[in-house]
A and B are shown apart, each in its own frame.
Chain A
Amino acid sequence: MKLFDISQLHQLLLDRFDDSRITAVVSEAVDPWVEVAPAAIHEVCLFLRDEAGLRFDHLNDLTAIDWFEPDPKKAKSFGHEPHLEVVYHLSSYEHLHSTVIKVRLPRWKDDIAGQPPEIPTVSTVWGIADWHEREAWDLMGIHFVGHANLRRILCPEDWVGHPLRKDYEFPLEYHGIRGG
Protein backbone atom coordinates (compact mmCIF):
# COMPACT_ATOMS: atom_id res chain seq x y z
CA MET A 1 0.00 0.00 0.00
CA LYS A 2 1.52 3.28 -1.07
CA LEU A 3 0.22 6.82 -1.01
CA PHE A 4 -1.16 7.98 -4.33
CA ASP A 5 0.88 11.00 -5.45
CA ILE A 6 -1.18 13.89 -4.15
CA SER A 7 -0.29 16.48 -6.77
CA GLN A 8 -1.12 13.98 -9.50
CA LEU A 9 -4.47 13.25 -7.89
CA HIS A 10 -5.14 16.97 -7.49
CA GLN A 11 -4.42 17.47 -11.18
CA LEU A 12 -6.67 14.57 -12.19
CA LEU A 13 -9.50 15.99 -10.14
CA LEU A 14 -8.96 19.50 -11.50
CA ASP A 15 -9.07 18.17 -15.05
CA ARG A 16 -12.40 16.56 -14.34
CA PHE A 17 -13.96 19.10 -11.96
CA ASP A 18 -13.34 22.84 -11.76
CA ASP A 19 -11.56 24.59 -8.93
CA SER A 20 -14.80 25.72 -7.33
CA ARG A 21 -15.33 22.08 -6.41
CA ILE A 22 -11.75 21.02 -5.74
CA THR A 23 -10.86 23.70 -3.24
CA ALA A 24 -7.36 22.92 -1.96
CA VAL A 25 -4.51 20.46 -1.72
CA VAL A 26 -2.25 19.94 1.29
CA SER A 27 0.88 18.00 0.45
CA GLU A 28 2.99 18.88 3.51
CA ALA A 29 1.60 16.22 5.81
CA VAL A 30 2.30 12.63 6.79
CA ASP A 31 -0.88 11.67 4.92
CA PRO A 32 -1.48 14.49 2.39
CA TRP A 33 -5.03 15.27 1.29
CA VAL A 34 -7.22 17.01 -1.27
CA GLU A 35 -9.99 19.27 -0.06
CA VAL A 36 -13.33 19.10 -1.85
CA ALA A 37 -16.35 21.41 -1.69
CA PRO A 38 -19.25 19.86 0.27
CA ALA A 39 -21.70 19.96 -2.64
CA ALA A 40 -19.31 18.00 -4.91
CA ILE A 41 -18.33 15.17 -2.57
CA HIS A 42 -20.70 12.59 -4.02
CA GLU A 43 -19.61 13.01 -7.64
CA VAL A 44 -15.94 13.22 -6.67
CA CYS A 45 -16.25 9.97 -4.72
CA LEU A 46 -17.96 8.24 -7.63
CA PHE A 47 -15.15 9.40 -9.89
CA LEU A 48 -12.50 8.18 -7.45
CA ARG A 49 -14.17 4.80 -7.19
CA ASP A 50 -14.78 4.19 -10.89
CA GLU A 51 -11.87 5.84 -12.75
CA ALA A 52 -9.65 3.11 -14.18
CA GLY A 53 -6.33 4.41 -12.85
CA LEU A 54 -7.69 5.19 -9.38
CA ARG A 55 -10.28 2.56 -8.41
CA PHE A 56 -10.60 3.56 -4.76
CA ASP A 57 -13.00 0.73 -4.05
CA HIS A 58 -12.44 0.54 -0.30
CA LEU A 59 -13.57 3.24 2.10
CA ASN A 60 -11.23 2.55 4.99
CA ASP A 61 -12.70 5.14 7.25
CA LEU A 62 -15.08 8.05 7.29
CA THR A 63 -14.88 10.35 10.24
CA ALA A 64 -15.04 13.97 11.30
CA ILE A 65 -12.91 16.41 13.29
CA ASP A 66 -14.17 19.34 15.30
CA TRP A 67 -11.67 22.20 14.96
CA PHE A 68 -12.76 24.25 17.92
CA GLU A 69 -11.30 25.36 21.24
CA PRO A 70 -14.03 25.90 23.82
CA ASP A 71 -11.72 27.59 26.32
CA PRO A 72 -11.58 31.31 25.35
CA LYS A 73 -8.13 31.67 26.97
CA LYS A 74 -6.64 29.00 24.74
CA ALA A 75 -8.63 29.98 21.65
CA LYS A 76 -6.06 32.57 20.56
CA SER A 77 -3.17 30.14 20.47
CA PHE A 78 -5.34 27.42 18.90
CA GLY A 79 -4.61 28.78 15.44
CA HIS A 80 -7.62 27.47 13.54
CA GLU A 81 -10.92 29.00 12.56
CA PRO A 82 -13.74 27.01 14.18
CA HIS A 83 -14.99 24.50 11.63
CA LEU A 84 -15.75 20.84 11.08
CA GLU A 85 -13.91 18.51 8.77
CA VAL A 86 -15.22 15.29 7.28
CA VAL A 87 -12.36 12.95 6.41
CA TYR A 88 -12.51 10.10 3.91
CA HIS A 89 -9.70 7.54 3.92
CA LEU A 90 -9.71 5.59 0.69
CA SER A 91 -7.69 2.74 -0.71
CA SER A 92 -7.71 0.46 -3.70
CA TYR A 93 -7.41 -3.32 -3.62
CA GLU A 94 -6.56 -3.35 -7.29
CA HIS A 95 -3.72 -0.82 -7.34
CA LEU A 96 -2.75 -1.00 -3.65
CA HIS A 97 -2.70 2.74 -3.16
CA SER A 98 -4.43 5.00 -0.70
CA THR A 99 -5.39 8.63 -0.31
CA VAL A 100 -7.29 11.09 1.87
CA ILE A 101 -10.14 13.40 0.90
CA LYS A 102 -11.40 16.13 3.19
CA VAL A 103 -14.44 18.35 3.24
CA ARG A 104 -14.63 21.54 5.25
CA LEU A 105 -17.97 22.35 6.86
CA PRO A 106 -19.19 25.13 9.14
CA ARG A 107 -19.80 24.01 12.74
CA TRP A 108 -23.44 24.95 12.37
CA LYS A 109 -25.51 25.51 9.26
CA ASP A 110 -25.82 29.25 8.55
CA ASP A 111 -24.03 29.79 11.90
CA ILE A 112 -27.24 29.17 13.83
CA ALA A 113 -26.24 27.07 16.84
CA GLY A 114 -28.14 23.79 16.91
CA GLN A 115 -28.60 23.49 13.16
CA PRO A 116 -26.47 20.60 11.93
CA PRO A 117 -24.31 21.30 8.87
CA GLU A 118 -25.22 19.39 5.73
CA ILE A 119 -23.22 17.30 3.28
CA PRO A 120 -24.39 14.82 0.62
CA THR A 121 -24.16 11.17 1.59
CA VAL A 122 -21.72 8.73 0.00
CA SER A 123 -23.57 5.66 1.27
CA THR A 124 -24.62 4.95 -2.31
CA VAL A 125 -20.97 4.85 -3.36
CA TRP A 126 -19.65 2.51 -0.65
CA GLY A 127 -22.00 0.35 1.43
CA ILE A 128 -20.00 0.83 4.59
CA ALA A 129 -20.48 4.61 4.50
CA ASP A 130 -24.02 3.90 5.73
CA TRP A 131 -22.84 3.02 9.23
CA HIS A 132 -19.89 5.40 9.30
CA GLU A 133 -22.18 8.30 8.46
CA ARG A 134 -24.64 7.26 11.11
CA GLU A 135 -21.78 7.31 13.58
CA ALA A 136 -20.62 10.72 12.40
CA TRP A 137 -24.16 12.02 12.79
CA ASP A 138 -24.47 10.48 16.23
CA LEU A 139 -21.17 11.65 17.68
CA MET A 140 -20.39 14.77 15.65
CA GLY A 141 -23.78 16.05 14.50
CA ILE A 142 -23.29 16.17 10.75
CA HIS A 143 -26.38 15.77 8.63
CA PHE A 144 -25.75 13.53 5.62
CA VAL A 145 -28.35 14.56 3.08
CA GLY A 146 -29.83 11.63 1.17
CA HIS A 147 -28.89 8.99 3.74
CA ALA A 148 -31.69 6.42 3.88
CA ASN A 149 -31.59 5.79 7.60
CA LEU A 150 -29.73 8.52 9.47
CA ARG A 151 -30.38 7.39 13.04
CA ARG A 152 -28.09 7.40 16.04
CA ILE A 153 -26.01 4.23 16.13
CA LEU A 154 -23.88 4.16 19.29
CA CYS A 155 -25.80 6.45 21.64
CA PRO A 156 -29.42 5.76 22.60
CA GLU A 157 -32.06 7.20 20.29
CA ASP A 158 -33.16 9.81 22.82
CA TRP A 159 -29.67 11.06 23.63
CA VAL A 160 -29.26 14.83 23.50
CA GLY A 161 -26.26 16.42 21.81
CA HIS A 162 -23.28 15.08 19.91
CA PRO A 163 -20.54 13.90 22.28
CA LEU A 164 -17.48 14.41 20.09
CA ARG A 165 -18.20 18.12 19.62
CA LYS A 166 -15.63 20.06 21.60
CA ASP A 167 -18.29 22.16 23.32
CA TYR A 168 -20.42 19.16 24.29
CA GLU A 169 -21.63 19.26 27.87
CA PHE A 170 -21.93 15.94 29.59
CA PRO A 171 -25.47 15.41 30.91
CA LEU A 172 -25.73 15.18 34.69
CA GLU A 173 -28.54 12.68 34.53
CA TYR A 174 -30.00 10.20 32.04
CA HIS A 175 -33.28 8.43 32.89
CA GLY A 176 -32.54 8.66 36.58
CA ILE A 177 -28.92 7.50 36.21
CA ARG A 178 -26.52 10.06 37.62
CA GLY A 179 -23.38 10.89 35.73
CA GLY A 180 -20.67 13.48 35.52
Chain B
Amino acid sequence: MSMQIEDPRVVEFDVRTDEMLVNMGPQHPSTHGVLRLLLRTDGEIVNEVTPHIGYLHRCAEKIGENLATPQWIPYTDRMDYLAAMNMNLGLSLTVEKLIGLELPPKAVEQRVVIAELGRIASHLVGMGAYGLDLGTFSPFLYAFREREIILDLFEEACGARLTYSYLTIGGATHPLPEEITIPPGLAALTRKSPSTRMRWKDAVLLFLEWLEPRIEEYHTLLTRNQIFIKRTAGLGELSREAAISYGCTGPVLRGSGVDHDLRRDGEPIYTDMYKDYDFKVIVAPFEEAPPEVVLGDNWCRFYVRMLEVIESISLVRQSLEKYDQAEGTTRVPYKMSTKLPKDECYLETECPRGQMGFYLVGNGQAEPLRLRAKSSCFCNLSVTKQLCEGYLLADVPSIVGSLDIVMGEIDR
Protein backbone atom coordinates (compact mmCIF):
# COMPACT_ATOMS: atom_id res chain seq x y z
CA MET B 1 0.00 0.00 0.00
CA SER B 2 1.47 3.28 -0.98
CA MET B 3 1.40 5.99 1.60
CA GLN B 4 -0.26 9.21 0.69
CA ILE B 5 1.30 12.32 1.99
CA GLU B 6 -1.16 15.07 2.62
CA ASP B 7 0.89 17.58 4.43
CA PRO B 8 4.52 17.91 3.31
CA ARG B 9 5.52 19.11 6.77
CA VAL B 10 4.76 15.68 8.17
CA VAL B 11 7.55 14.25 6.09
CA GLU B 12 9.88 16.95 7.18
CA PHE B 13 9.22 16.23 10.81
CA ASP B 14 9.19 12.53 10.35
CA VAL B 15 12.78 12.44 9.23
CA ARG B 16 14.76 10.61 11.85
CA THR B 17 18.48 10.80 12.19
CA ASP B 18 20.32 7.57 12.66
CA GLU B 19 21.65 6.91 16.09
CA MET B 20 25.35 7.29 16.05
CA LEU B 21 28.04 6.07 18.40
CA VAL B 22 30.68 8.71 18.95
CA ASN B 23 33.94 7.99 20.68
CA MET B 24 35.31 10.88 22.69
CA GLY B 25 38.78 10.13 23.85
CA PRO B 26 40.90 8.55 25.14
CA GLN B 27 43.08 11.15 23.43
CA HIS B 28 40.52 13.91 23.25
CA PRO B 29 41.98 17.09 24.75
CA SER B 30 38.87 18.01 26.67
CA THR B 31 38.66 14.77 28.59
CA HIS B 32 41.43 15.76 31.05
CA GLY B 33 43.72 12.85 30.40
CA VAL B 34 42.90 9.46 29.08
CA LEU B 35 39.17 9.17 29.60
CA ARG B 36 37.08 7.58 26.88
CA LEU B 37 33.43 8.51 26.65
CA LEU B 38 31.24 6.44 24.39
CA LEU B 39 28.31 8.61 23.38
CA ARG B 40 25.13 7.39 21.75
CA THR B 41 23.81 10.40 19.93
CA ASP B 42 20.65 11.21 18.06
CA GLY B 43 21.69 14.11 15.89
CA GLU B 44 23.20 16.57 18.32
CA ILE B 45 21.44 15.16 21.34
CA VAL B 46 23.31 12.78 23.62
CA ASN B 47 21.12 9.84 24.64
CA GLU B 48 23.59 7.76 26.52
CA VAL B 49 27.09 8.18 27.90
CA THR B 50 29.32 5.32 28.93
CA PRO B 51 32.63 6.33 30.50
CA HIS B 52 35.49 3.87 30.00
CA ILE B 53 38.34 4.28 32.42
CA GLY B 54 41.45 2.36 33.37
CA TYR B 55 43.94 3.58 30.76
CA LEU B 56 46.31 4.71 33.50
CA HIS B 57 45.70 1.75 35.78
CA ARG B 58 48.89 0.69 37.56
CA CYS B 59 47.29 -1.25 40.40
CA ALA B 60 48.93 1.02 42.94
CA GLU B 61 47.04 -0.83 45.66
CA LYS B 62 48.85 -4.06 44.81
CA ILE B 63 52.18 -2.22 44.87
CA GLY B 64 51.21 -0.88 48.29
CA GLU B 65 50.97 -4.41 49.67
CA ASN B 66 54.65 -4.94 48.87
CA LEU B 67 56.07 -1.72 50.29
CA ALA B 68 56.43 -0.18 53.70
CA THR B 69 53.92 2.68 53.93
CA PRO B 70 56.49 5.54 53.73
CA GLN B 71 57.73 4.00 50.48
CA TRP B 72 54.24 4.25 49.07
CA ILE B 73 54.01 8.01 49.56
CA PRO B 74 55.53 8.72 46.11
CA TYR B 75 52.75 6.63 44.60
CA THR B 76 50.15 8.92 46.15
CA ASP B 77 51.90 11.84 44.41
CA ARG B 78 51.23 10.19 41.11
CA MET B 79 47.54 9.69 41.75
CA ASP B 80 46.25 13.23 41.92
CA TYR B 81 49.37 14.84 40.50
CA LEU B 82 47.77 18.30 40.59
CA ALA B 83 47.32 18.15 44.36
CA ALA B 84 50.13 15.82 45.33
CA MET B 85 50.68 17.53 48.71
CA ASN B 86 47.11 16.85 49.78
CA MET B 87 47.45 13.21 48.74
CA ASN B 88 50.65 12.83 50.81
CA LEU B 89 48.80 14.31 53.74
CA GLY B 90 45.90 11.86 53.41
CA LEU B 91 48.08 8.77 53.54
CA SER B 92 50.31 10.14 56.32
CA LEU B 93 47.31 10.90 58.51
CA THR B 94 45.89 7.42 57.91
CA VAL B 95 49.09 5.74 59.05
CA GLU B 96 49.29 8.10 62.03
CA LYS B 97 45.72 7.24 62.94
CA LEU B 98 46.49 3.53 62.82
CA ILE B 99 49.62 3.66 64.96
CA GLY B 100 48.42 6.52 67.15
CA LEU B 101 51.26 8.91 66.37
CA GLU B 102 50.85 12.47 67.64
CA LEU B 103 52.53 15.39 65.97
CA PRO B 104 54.03 18.52 67.55
CA PRO B 105 52.10 21.74 66.81
CA LYS B 106 54.74 23.05 64.44
CA ALA B 107 54.43 20.03 62.16
CA VAL B 108 50.66 20.41 62.13
CA GLU B 109 50.77 24.10 61.16
CA GLN B 110 53.31 23.36 58.47
CA ARG B 111 50.93 20.82 57.00
CA VAL B 112 48.13 23.38 56.89
CA VAL B 113 50.37 25.89 55.06
CA ILE B 114 51.38 23.29 52.49
CA ALA B 115 47.98 21.65 52.05
CA GLU B 116 46.19 24.95 51.48
CA LEU B 117 48.83 26.22 49.04
CA GLY B 118 48.34 22.92 47.23
CA ARG B 119 44.61 23.52 47.14
CA ILE B 120 45.11 26.95 45.58
CA ALA B 121 47.42 25.51 42.91
CA SER B 122 44.98 22.73 42.14
CA HIS B 123 41.93 24.96 41.88
CA LEU B 124 43.87 27.33 39.62
CA VAL B 125 44.48 24.48 37.18
CA GLY B 126 40.85 23.48 37.55
CA MET B 127 39.79 26.99 36.58
CA GLY B 128 42.25 27.35 33.71
CA ALA B 129 41.52 23.96 32.22
CA TYR B 130 37.81 24.55 32.45
CA GLY B 131 38.19 27.75 30.46
CA LEU B 132 40.14 25.75 27.91
CA ASP B 133 37.33 23.20 27.69
CA LEU B 134 34.94 25.99 26.83
CA GLY B 135 37.23 27.49 24.24
CA THR B 136 38.90 30.39 25.99
CA PHE B 137 42.65 30.26 26.24
CA SER B 138 43.69 33.26 28.33
CA PRO B 139 42.48 32.09 31.77
CA PHE B 140 44.60 28.97 31.29
CA LEU B 141 47.72 31.06 30.77
CA TYR B 142 46.98 33.26 33.77
CA ALA B 143 46.24 30.23 35.94
CA PHE B 144 49.50 28.57 35.02
CA ARG B 145 51.43 31.78 35.59
CA GLU B 146 50.11 31.88 39.16
CA ARG B 147 50.54 28.18 39.76
CA GLU B 148 54.13 28.40 38.58
CA ILE B 149 54.97 30.58 41.58
CA ILE B 150 53.43 28.10 43.99
CA LEU B 151 55.48 25.36 42.33
CA ASP B 152 58.60 27.50 42.73
CA LEU B 153 57.82 27.97 46.42
CA PHE B 154 57.26 24.21 46.81
CA GLU B 155 60.52 23.60 45.00
CA GLU B 156 62.31 25.75 47.55
CA ALA B 157 60.69 23.74 50.33
CA CYS B 158 61.28 20.21 49.06
CA GLY B 159 63.16 20.25 45.78
CA ALA B 160 60.36 18.86 43.62
CA ARG B 161 57.86 20.66 41.45
CA LEU B 162 55.12 18.12 40.83
CA THR B 163 55.60 14.92 42.79
CA TYR B 164 56.71 16.19 46.15
CA SER B 165 56.58 13.36 48.69
CA TYR B 166 57.07 16.23 51.14
CA LEU B 167 54.48 15.55 53.80
CA THR B 168 55.24 12.16 55.20
CA ILE B 169 54.43 9.97 58.15
CA GLY B 170 55.35 11.90 61.28
CA GLY B 171 55.43 15.36 59.72
CA ALA B 172 57.33 16.57 56.68
CA THR B 173 60.73 15.65 55.26
CA HIS B 174 62.11 19.15 55.92
CA PRO B 175 60.94 22.20 57.84
CA LEU B 176 59.80 25.17 55.77
CA PRO B 177 62.80 27.03 54.32
CA GLU B 178 64.07 30.17 56.01
CA GLU B 179 65.56 32.49 53.41
CA ILE B 180 65.32 32.07 49.66
CA THR B 181 65.98 33.99 46.47
CA ILE B 182 62.67 35.33 45.22
CA PRO B 183 61.07 32.99 42.63
CA PRO B 184 61.69 34.46 39.14
CA GLY B 185 58.00 34.56 38.29
CA LEU B 186 57.16 36.44 41.46
CA ALA B 187 60.04 38.86 40.92
CA ALA B 188 58.74 39.67 37.44
CA LEU B 189 55.15 40.12 38.55
CA THR B 190 55.95 42.30 41.55
CA ARG B 191 58.75 44.22 39.77
CA LYS B 192 61.42 43.19 42.23
CA SER B 193 65.03 42.44 41.43
CA PRO B 194 65.49 38.73 40.58
CA SER B 195 68.34 38.52 43.09
CA THR B 196 66.22 39.74 46.04
CA ARG B 197 66.68 37.57 49.09
CA MET B 198 63.65 37.20 51.32
CA ARG B 199 62.13 34.84 53.84
CA TRP B 200 60.10 32.00 52.36
CA LYS B 201 57.19 33.10 54.47
CA ASP B 202 57.39 36.63 53.12
CA ALA B 203 57.56 35.33 49.57
CA VAL B 204 54.34 33.40 50.17
CA LEU B 205 52.66 36.45 51.68
CA LEU B 206 53.85 38.63 48.81
CA PHE B 207 52.44 36.14 46.34
CA LEU B 208 49.08 35.90 48.13
CA GLU B 209 48.85 39.66 48.28
CA TRP B 210 49.40 39.72 44.53
CA LEU B 211 47.02 36.81 43.84
CA GLU B 212 44.02 37.94 45.83
CA PRO B 213 42.98 40.90 43.62
CA ARG B 214 43.56 38.71 40.53
CA ILE B 215 40.68 36.44 41.53
CA GLU B 216 38.35 39.33 40.85
CA GLU B 217 39.85 39.55 37.35
CA TYR B 218 39.10 35.89 36.75
CA HIS B 219 35.53 36.51 37.74
CA THR B 220 35.32 39.20 35.07
CA LEU B 221 37.04 36.94 32.58
CA LEU B 222 35.00 33.81 33.27
CA THR B 223 32.46 33.79 36.07
CA ARG B 224 30.49 36.83 34.93
CA ASN B 225 31.27 36.46 31.23
CA GLN B 226 28.01 36.08 29.28
CA ILE B 227 29.41 33.37 26.99
CA PHE B 228 30.71 31.44 29.96
CA ILE B 229 27.37 31.72 31.74
CA LYS B 230 25.50 30.57 28.63
CA ARG B 231 27.72 27.51 28.40
CA THR B 232 27.63 26.54 32.08
CA ALA B 233 24.49 27.83 33.78
CA GLY B 234 21.55 25.44 33.85
CA LEU B 235 23.64 22.63 32.38
CA GLY B 236 24.60 19.35 34.01
CA GLU B 237 22.25 19.81 36.89
CA LEU B 238 23.06 17.44 39.76
CA SER B 239 20.39 17.17 42.42
CA ARG B 240 21.25 17.02 46.08
CA GLU B 241 19.88 13.47 46.36
CA ALA B 242 21.82 12.21 43.34
CA ALA B 243 25.01 13.83 44.60
CA ILE B 244 24.67 11.98 47.91
CA SER B 245 23.64 8.66 46.40
CA TYR B 246 26.48 8.70 43.88
CA GLY B 247 29.00 9.53 46.58
CA CYS B 248 30.03 12.83 45.01
CA THR B 249 32.28 14.86 47.27
CA GLY B 250 34.17 18.12 47.41
CA PRO B 251 33.12 21.05 45.20
CA VAL B 252 30.73 18.78 43.27
CA LEU B 253 28.82 17.96 46.44
CA ARG B 254 28.87 21.52 47.77
CA GLY B 255 27.82 22.83 44.35
CA SER B 256 24.67 20.74 44.80
CA GLY B 257 23.91 22.42 48.10
CA VAL B 258 25.17 19.93 50.67
CA ASP B 259 26.97 21.75 53.47
CA HIS B 260 29.80 19.33 54.13
CA ASP B 261 33.53 19.87 54.31
CA LEU B 262 35.81 17.40 56.06
CA ARG B 263 38.04 20.18 57.32
CA ARG B 264 35.10 21.07 59.56
CA ASP B 265 33.06 17.84 59.66
CA GLY B 266 35.73 15.16 59.30
CA GLU B 267 37.30 12.86 61.84
CA PRO B 268 39.00 14.43 64.87
CA ILE B 269 42.53 13.60 63.71
CA TYR B 270 41.90 15.76 60.64
CA THR B 271 39.62 18.49 62.00
CA ASP B 272 42.04 19.12 64.89
CA MET B 273 44.44 20.53 62.32
CA TYR B 274 41.90 23.20 61.42
CA LYS B 275 40.16 23.74 64.75
CA ASP B 276 41.75 27.12 65.51
CA TYR B 277 41.25 28.45 62.02
CA ASP B 278 38.66 30.84 60.81
CA PHE B 279 37.23 29.76 57.48
CA LYS B 280 33.87 29.20 55.97
CA VAL B 281 32.60 26.29 53.92
CA ILE B 282 31.48 27.39 50.48
CA VAL B 283 28.08 25.97 49.58
CA ALA B 284 25.70 26.70 46.71
CA PRO B 285 23.26 28.43 46.12
CA PHE B 286 24.85 31.86 45.82
CA GLU B 287 23.06 35.15 46.12
CA GLU B 288 25.28 36.81 43.55
CA ALA B 289 24.69 34.11 40.93
CA PRO B 290 23.30 35.19 37.54
CA PRO B 291 19.57 34.45 37.09
CA GLU B 292 20.20 31.56 34.64
CA VAL B 293 22.03 29.56 37.28
CA VAL B 294 20.25 26.65 38.98
CA LEU B 295 21.43 24.73 42.02
CA GLY B 296 23.91 21.99 41.18
CA ASP B 297 24.82 23.06 37.66
CA ASN B 298 28.25 23.53 36.09
CA TRP B 299 28.44 27.16 37.09
CA CYS B 300 27.86 26.37 40.79
CA ARG B 301 30.60 23.75 40.84
CA PHE B 302 33.00 26.17 39.19
CA TYR B 303 32.10 29.02 41.50
CA VAL B 304 32.57 26.89 44.63
CA ARG B 305 36.18 26.29 43.55
CA MET B 306 36.80 29.98 42.90
CA LEU B 307 35.53 30.98 46.34
CA GLU B 308 37.52 28.20 47.97
CA VAL B 309 40.68 29.79 46.62
CA ILE B 310 39.84 32.92 48.62
CA GLU B 311 39.27 30.83 51.76
CA SER B 312 42.54 29.00 51.22
CA ILE B 313 44.41 32.27 50.83
CA SER B 314 43.11 33.33 54.22
CA LEU B 315 43.98 29.91 55.69
CA VAL B 316 47.57 30.11 54.45
CA ARG B 317 47.96 33.56 56.01
CA GLN B 318 46.64 32.34 59.34
CA SER B 319 48.74 29.19 59.28
CA LEU B 320 51.99 31.01 58.45
CA GLU B 321 51.37 33.14 61.52
CA LYS B 322 50.76 30.06 63.66
CA TYR B 323 53.72 28.20 62.20
CA ASP B 324 56.06 30.96 63.35
CA GLN B 325 54.71 30.85 66.88
CA ALA B 326 54.29 27.09 67.17
CA GLU B 327 56.73 25.05 69.17
CA GLY B 328 58.41 21.74 68.59
CA THR B 329 59.95 20.10 65.59
CA THR B 330 58.39 19.49 62.21
CA ARG B 331 59.02 15.78 62.23
CA VAL B 332 58.58 12.86 64.56
CA PRO B 333 60.87 10.02 63.55
CA TYR B 334 59.16 7.10 61.90
CA LYS B 335 61.26 4.13 60.90
CA MET B 336 60.71 2.41 57.59
CA SER B 337 60.79 -0.94 59.40
CA THR B 338 58.06 0.02 61.90
CA LYS B 339 55.63 -2.88 62.03
CA LEU B 340 51.98 -1.98 61.56
CA PRO B 341 49.68 -3.30 64.29
CA LYS B 342 47.16 -6.05 63.54
CA ASP B 343 44.46 -3.51 63.14
CA GLU B 344 42.87 -1.45 60.44
CA CYS B 345 41.58 2.04 59.87
CA TYR B 346 39.98 4.21 57.24
CA LEU B 347 40.39 7.94 56.91
CA GLU B 348 39.11 10.51 54.45
CA THR B 349 40.59 13.96 53.98
CA GLU B 350 39.33 16.92 52.02
CA CYS B 351 41.45 17.05 48.89
CA PRO B 352 40.77 19.81 46.35
CA ARG B 353 38.75 17.41 44.21
CA GLY B 354 36.80 15.78 47.01
CA GLN B 355 37.14 13.34 49.85
CA MET B 356 40.12 11.11 49.29
CA GLY B 357 40.06 8.01 51.46
CA PHE B 358 42.80 5.61 52.48
CA TYR B 359 42.07 2.26 54.04
CA LEU B 360 44.96 0.55 55.73
CA VAL B 361 44.97 -3.01 57.06
CA GLY B 362 48.03 -4.03 59.04
CA ASN B 363 49.04 -7.54 59.90
CA GLY B 364 52.12 -7.23 62.10
CA GLN B 365 54.45 -6.48 59.17
CA ALA B 366 55.92 -3.24 57.90
CA GLU B 367 54.01 -3.84 54.67
CA PRO B 368 50.23 -3.59 55.01
CA LEU B 369 48.03 -6.55 54.16
CA ARG B 370 45.78 -4.24 52.19
CA LEU B 371 46.16 -0.63 51.21
CA ARG B 372 43.16 0.85 49.49
CA ALA B 373 42.92 4.29 47.95
CA LYS B 374 39.36 5.46 47.47
CA SER B 375 39.40 8.09 44.79
CA SER B 376 37.11 11.10 44.97
CA CYS B 377 37.20 11.71 41.20
CA PHE B 378 36.20 8.08 40.63
CA CYS B 379 32.94 8.73 42.46
CA ASN B 380 32.47 12.16 40.88
CA LEU B 381 32.95 10.72 37.41
CA SER B 382 30.47 7.92 37.98
CA VAL B 383 27.68 10.48 37.81
CA THR B 384 28.55 11.57 34.22
CA LYS B 385 25.98 9.21 32.75
CA GLN B 386 23.19 10.93 34.65
CA LEU B 387 24.52 14.43 34.01
CA CYS B 388 25.05 14.33 30.26
CA GLU B 389 21.92 12.60 29.04
CA GLY B 390 19.63 14.81 27.01
CA TYR B 391 22.17 17.57 26.49
CA LEU B 392 23.92 18.59 23.29
CA LEU B 393 27.11 16.94 22.20
CA ALA B 394 28.93 20.26 22.59
CA ASP B 395 27.88 20.44 26.24
CA VAL B 396 29.59 17.19 27.19
CA PRO B 397 33.07 18.75 27.58
CA SER B 398 31.48 21.52 29.63
CA ILE B 399 29.82 19.03 31.99
CA VAL B 400 32.77 16.66 32.33
CA GLY B 401 35.13 19.60 32.77
CA SER B 402 33.04 20.99 35.61
CA LEU B 403 33.66 17.79 37.59
CA ASP B 404 37.39 18.64 37.49
CA ILE B 405 38.73 15.11 37.29
CA VAL B 406 42.29 13.83 37.27
CA MET B 407 42.62 10.47 35.58
CA GLY B 408 45.72 9.46 37.51
CA GLU B 409 43.61 9.36 40.65
CA ILE B 410 40.66 7.56 39.06
CA ASP B 411 42.72 4.78 37.53
CA ARG B 412 45.30 4.47 40.31
Binding site for B on A (CB under 8 A): 1-2, 29-31, 57-61, 63, 65-67, 78, 87, 89, 93, 96, 98, 100, 126-128, 130-131, 139, 152-156, 163-164
In the bound assembly, the distance between CA atoms of A127 and B384 in angstroms comes to 12
Known contacts A1-B266, A29-B344, A30-B343; is-contact A127 B359 (Cβ 8 Å): no
B45, CB-defined interface residue at 8 Å: no
In the bound assembly, the distance between CA atoms of A150 and B369 in angstroms comes to 26
In the bound assembly, the distance between CA atoms of A100 and B343 in angstroms comes to 14
Interfacial chain A residues near B166, Cβ < 8 Å: none
Enumerate 15 A-B pairs (CB-CB under 8 Å) in ascending A order: A30-B97, A30-B98, A31-B344, A60-B348, A61-B357, A63-B359, A89-B359, A96-B265, A126-B247, A127-B245, A127-B382, A127-B383, A128-B247, A131-B378, A163-B59
In the bound assembly, the distance between CA atoms of A78 and B342 in angstroms comes to 11
Q: Is the CB of A1 within 8 A of B267?
A: yes
CB distance from B80 to the nearest CB of A (A): 16
Count residues of chain B with CB under 8 A from any CB of chain A: 41
Q: Taking CB as reference atom, which chain A residue is nearest B246?
A: A127
CB distance from B101 to the nearest CB of A (A): 12
Query: Which of A89, A93, A156 is within 8 Å of B357, CB to CB?
Result: A89
Interfacial chain B residues near A65, Cβ < 8 Å: 361, 369-370
Binding site for A on B (CB under 8 A): 53-54, 57, 59, 61-62, 97-98, 242, 244-247, 258, 260, 262, 265-268, 271, 343-346, 348, 355, 357, 359, 361, 363, 369-370, 372, 374, 378-379, 382-383, 411-412
Query: Which of B344, B382, B383, B412 is within 8 Å of A30, CB to CB?
Result: B344
In the bound assembly, the distance between CA atoms of A96 and B54 in angstroms comes to 33
Interfacial chain A residues near B268, Cβ < 8 Å: 2
Query: Which of B62, B258, B265, B345 is within 8 Å of A164, CB to CB?
Result: B62
Known contacts A155-B54, A155-B57; is-contact A1 B265 (Cβ 8 Å): yes
CB distance from B102 to the nearest CB of A (A): 14
